[in-house]
Structure 1
Amino acid sequence: MNYNDVEILFIDDNLDDAALTLHALKKGGVTNTVFHVKDGAEALDFMYCKGDFSNRNIDSQPKLILLDLKMPKVSGIEVLEKLKSDGHHKTVPVVVLTSSKEDPDVKKCYELGANSYIVKPVESVSFFNTIKDLGLFWMKINLSPK
């Protein structure tokens, strides 16, 4: 895979949720190149072109980041804080996609610059429709900076 062509960076350690999300995006008509990483450390390596991603061009930004909060190594909140405090990555839209409904998490994410906060629905049809709509909005309707 050419990592410079990634348009959606998807960060989630739950492989079942990840498979369902990727399926829903595809079935929802999102044809953009999606790359899945399994934890926050891998996400930061991707964004900062380190480790396995050292050959990636740092100027090649994804159009969207889908970010889970509760992950090993580096939490989603730490990833969000790092990206949104960095002028180079600040404008990349970050959608928090998590199971946490906790008010402190919601508030903290918006304070750090999250563009959206979506709680993963438990019921599979609702989950599928939520992901499909999310993909449609962020990849086809929303206008992002270049």
Structure 2
Amino acid sequence: MSDKRSIVILIADDDAEDRMLVKDALEESRLKNSIQFVENGEELMDYLHRRGKFSDEQKYPTPGLILLDLNMPKKDGREALREIKADERLRLIPVVVLTTSKAEEDILRTYDLGVSSFITKPVTFSSLVDVMKTLSKYWFEIVELPKI
């Protein structure tokens, strides 16, 4: 059994406050995994392809899980998701959409593109902590993830 704590979580979200809240909620849920952040879809793809400032594999290891916001500048989450799932090397990485969108079209389209889960961001911090606890329990205690 692999060490589940060594799995890196990559969070793609352009909202600094949301990034901080998700990080705090993950810490509050006692998750010990390493967390990396990118601020838009272009940075996400640069990270995954180790381009530019993300070229150091030690500093920016391949994530075992991506938390993806849909509405980001430069390249939105939908475009990034399409690219990830079209890439033979990246498509095994589970992607969980974590967004403010509740649009049925977004839900259908992201599942169609191969997203693992779609979660609407809770409004309160305590609800976000509950979601992160459940998410981390599911992805890091229950599910067997592929070695990437």
TM-score (norm 1): 0.90
Q: How does 1:94-105 map to 2 (within 5 A)?
A: 94-105=95-106
Match of 2:32? 31
Q: Indicate conservation of the 8 Å contact 1:28/1:136, yes or no.
A: no
CA distance, structure 1, for counterparts of residue 17 and residue 144 of structure 2? 30
Give the CA RMSD over aligned residues.
1.5
CA distance, structure 2, for counterparts of residue 25 and residue 121 of structure 1? 14
**Gap regions ≥5 residues in structure 1:** none
Q: Indicate conservation of the 8 Å contact 2:25/2:125, yes or no.
A: no
Q: SS of 1:30's equivalent? A: coil
Match of 2:9? 8
TM-score (norm 2): 0.89
CA distance, structure 1, for counterparts of residue 7 and residue 64 of structure 2? 8
Number of residue equivalences: 140
Deviations 1:2-36 (A, max 9, x none): xxx77111111111111111011111121011101
CA distance, structure 2, for counterparts of residue 45 and residue 139 of structure 1? 25
Q: Indicate conservation of the 8 Å contact 1:8/1:66, yes or no.
A: yes
> Percent identity at matched positions?
39
